[in-house]
Every structure is written in structure tokens, then in C-alpha cells.
Structure 1
């Protein structure tokens, strides 16, 4: 994730695809963590977490295809530079909403924390863990929160770019940090404000609401981009 111009570990041309490839590997950690506990509640929590993560990663990926269609690139630095005139949250408001919802679900934060529901599964896939092992699950969860907040900043809110040109004298790192911190606080606020739905309601919401919205957003964006290209030609 590029923080400021030139400050990125690896400026890959397939940056978005690499993110989804690495995010998919997290499923195995949760699944094997629940299975190796030899506890039925932990196993069921691992199965729930795996199904939820795999499902919502589909919507997360589709919600970003509109941005890829506009910029013609998977490179995150190119995506940030393409937002100098207008942040993508405005033309891609549906993509932003579905990406934010999917981000909460993939990180298993409330209200999408059914894999860890105390009423159903004790503590979910980390029921049998304590001490450092238990703590590492939560470290991973909060790393995911920071990562998703950073991606929202980079992909929809201009990354290190200021909201107005006359504010460009402020260091780019400040804008990236303040935007990311805002979305981290939103994650915490949502956790405290919303109740937990049933697991079947979470899955139904994904496939019956998020999937159609992402497909409509993708088709509409592709049509507009095609019309603009034809009119320019």
C-alpha cells in the first residue's frame, strides 16, 4: 500500500491482485486454527469464518473493478494519481459502500463477527487458545482493520492527496494518516453501534444485496467508460 509518493515496499503493476492473493491465504490460518483445537465450537467457528471470508472477498474484488475500468491499471500508485481531479468515492459510491461492508466482514468485525459469536460458539475458532497464541489472533484482526482502512484511503479517498489544491503545502503523510485514522475509528464505532445478525442473514445479505450492487456498479461504470472513449475517438 503506497503511503506517500515513493514510499512503498513494492510498487507492483498487479498491486490489487497481489493484495487479494495474500488476503485469500488468511483463510487457511483461521480454518486450521479452528480445526487443530479439537473442539467442535472452534471447528464450527473456523468453518463459518472461512465461508464468510471467501464469500465477501468476491464482493470486495468486484467492487474495485469499476476503479480498474476507469484507471486501466491495478497499480495502486497509478490509482492515487488518477484521483487528482476527483476522488473515486464520488463516481464509485456504490463500490465504496460494498467495499467497506466487505472489509468489515472479511476482518470479522462486528456486526459480521458471527464466527466468534459468544452465544453460539463460546469464542469461535480461538476458543481453545490462550496467552500469546490467543493474542496473535487479535493482532491479525487489527492488522486487517488497518490494512482495509488504508486501502479505502488509497482507492477511494485520494491516498496522500489533499481535498483541495490550496492545502498541498501540508505534508502528504498527514493526509494519508488522518484519512486512515478516520476509517479505523469508523470500524470501532460500527462495532459499538450495531447488533449482531444471525449467520444466515449475514450470508444472505452478501449474496442477495452486495453481489447485485457490485454487478450493477461494474456494468454501469464499464458502459460510461466505453461511451466516453467512443466520444473521444
Structure 2
């Protein structure tokens, strides 16, 4: 029994430790890329070309004093960022980086991913309510409405991909795309999925819960030190998870393009994730923020009918031509 437990612990560390390093590198890459787009220098002091800046920021937040508001519910106030951070980590348990390179491979991994990712809204709501601040509470309510609105379109788009591939298991979804990646027959659905993932992770142009000009950073305005850092890490972990999910469902996972199979499969998966992450960064650098009424109108009156329409179209084509996967 103990060898199995030790093996599981080592597997968990093997996944989560590189993930935390990737989050640190992601934050640095985002700041450098945005600086290049906006003709600035970006981080360039700590380490070579500023490569150690994320670790310096993490150390600074770790040693700073944690300020607890007087009127806050202290227990929930402390647990909310920890809850958000843990959820952003455990969702990676079902992400396959290569064939057999996955912590857990359940038959219904898609349902697990949707269930865990949908719980993230509770961390935001609890933080806004427990802070006992008007700005934090408004930011948490905005986030809850936004995440619920776009999670429906995200789930319908994911169901469309699962229906075409004939499985809810992530490994089998990647294997089913050996011949052709799903992004080619389902390009509109992939675009809807990516934009919905932007809204689900509160990124530009849908970062209304963290609107600095209106809500002074929204639901995390009362947080400092490690509380703020955990929210920060959770948000970037969710972005990487959505990028990985996009690769699995629409970009063939670890499969390489034709004629380039000599590169390791895990590197192909990482390179595709980097392409999606770059899109996240570019969206933040070049797009203005939506108004809140525009955000909700886009989610309910545009994305939801379109995602349902493409789902019914896919069902009709699969049934009409007898292409339903066995």
C-alpha cells in the first residue's frame, strides 16, 4: 500500500511542480510580449533579460504581511484564495500530455474537467462576500454572472467535440484525431470555445470582474501578500488548463503534423499550448474591454444560440450520413 501511495505522491509532484514553474514563466512571457507590442521594455532588471522577475515577485508577496480587514469574515476570507488555487491545480489530474502520461484517466474525464472548473466561481463569490467591501462584492457578482453565462456555451462546444469524437475520455479524444484534427471540420466551434474560455478565465476583453477603472481590481481588492498571489496563480493556472483543453479537443493533443513525427509527442503538446497562450496574451494587448451589458448580450444572445445551432448541425450531419462514432 505504501509504495502505491508514494508513487502517487511522486506523480503528483511531477505534474504540479512543473506547472507552477510554467505559470511563473507564463507571467514573465506575458509581460515581455505586451511590452513588445506596446513598445516598452518590460521586466529587464532581475536576472538575464528579467527572467528571474516572476520569482522575485513571488518572494516579495511571500514575505509581505497579510492584512486582514477588520469587518471581514476571517475564515472564509483566508480560505477563498486557497480554494481557487487548489481547484486550478486538481483540474490537471485528467490532462494527458502523452499517451499514458496522465495522473488519472477516467472514462468521463470531460465531465470531471467541467465539474471542477465550474467550482471556481465559488472561490470568487466567497472572497467578495467575506471581504465585506462593496467593490469586492460587486466584482464577485459580476464574475459569477459572467462565468455562468459563458460556461454554458463552453460546455455545449465541448459536447459538440465529444459527440464528433465519440468519447468523453481525453486520451481517446486525442487518439480519435490521429487522421485529422477536429479544428478543421469544426473551426467555428473551436473559435466559440476559445472566446468562451477567455470569458471563463476573466481575461481581456472580458475582464469585467477585475475592472480596475470601475471596481479597483474587483473581488480581490482587499487581498494582499499570499492571498493575492494565490488568486493570481489560480487565474493563470486556469488559463493554461483551458489552453490544454483546446489542444486536446481541437488541435490533436500530442499528434504532430504530417512528416514531423520525429519530435517528441510531449513537445508537440507543449508547443500547441504555447500557441494558444500567445493568443491569450495578444487578446489582452490589443483589444478594449467590453461594457457589462455588451458582455451579457454577447453571451446569451449570440454565443448560446450559435453553440446550440452548431451542435444541432453536427448531430444532423452525423445522423444523416450515418457517421456516428461507434
Superposed displacement of residue 66, structure 1: 1.7
Tell me how far 1:231 sits from its aligned partner: 10
In 2, the alpha carbon distance for the partners of 1:32 and 1:183 equals 30
The reply to whether residue 191 of structure 1 matches residue 284 of structure 2 is yes
Q: 2:101 is paired with a residue of what secondary structure? A: coil
Which segments of 5 or more consecutive residues in structure 2 lack a partner in the other structure? 1-94
**For the residues of structure 1 that align with 2:159 and 2:316, how far apart are their CA atoms?**
13
Runs of 4+ that moved beyond 3 A: none
Q: Is the 8 A contact 1:69 1:225 kept in 2?
A: no
Cα distance in 2 between the residues matched to 1:107 and 1:51 = 13
Larger Rg: 2
Tell me if the contact between 2:210 and 2:216 (Cα under 8 Å) persists in the aligned partners: yes
Q: Can you list the C-alpha shifts for 1:11-37, whole angstroms capped at 9, x where unaligned? A: 111111110100111111000011111
Gaps of 5+ in 1: none
User: Per the alignment, in what secondary structure is the counterpart of residue 119 of structure 2?
Assistant: helix
2:181 counterpart of 1:87: yes
Q: Report the alpha carbon displacement of residue 228 of structure 1 after superposing the two structures with TM.
A: 2.2
8 Å contact kept, 1:94–1:214: no
User: 1:126-163 CA deviation, whole Å, 9 max, x = no partner?
Assistant: 01111110111110110011000111111100000011
Which runs of structure 2 are paired with 1:18-33 in the superposition (5 Å)? 18-33=112-127
Measured on the aligned residues, the alpha-carbon RMSD in Å equals 1.4
* Structure 2 partner of 1:104: 198
Matches within 5 A, 1:122-141: 122-141=216-235
How far apart, in 1, do the equivalents of 2:136 and 2:323 lie? 55
Cα distance in structure 1, aligned partners of 2:140 and 2:252? 36
- Please give the residue correspondences for 1:11-90 in structure 2 after superposition, counting only pairs within 5 Å: 11-90=105-184
The alpha-carbon deviation at position 100 of structure 1 amounts to 0.3
Aligned: 1:214 with 2:307: yes
Task: Find the aligned partners of 1:70 and 1:32 in 2 and give their Cα distance.
Answer: 37
TM-score by length of 2: 0.69
Give the Cα separation in 1 of the matches to 2:323 and 2:313: 15
- Give the alignment partner of residue 144 of structure 1, picking from 234, 238, 253: 238
Pick from 111, 118, 121 the counterpart of residue 212 of structure 2.
118
The one of 269, 274, 277 equivalent to 1:181 is: 274
Q: CA deviation at 1:182?
A: 1.0
- Paired with 1:178 and 1:231, the residues of 2 have a C-alpha distance of 31
Change in CA separation of 1:230 and 1:205 when aligned onto 2, cut-off 3 Å: closer
Task: Work out whether residues 59 and 214 of structure 1, in 8 Å CA contact, stay in contact via their aligned partners in 2.
Answer: yes
Distance 1:57 1:37 in 2: 25
1:149-192, Cα deviation, whole Å (9 max, x unpaired): 1111111000000111x211211011001000111111011001
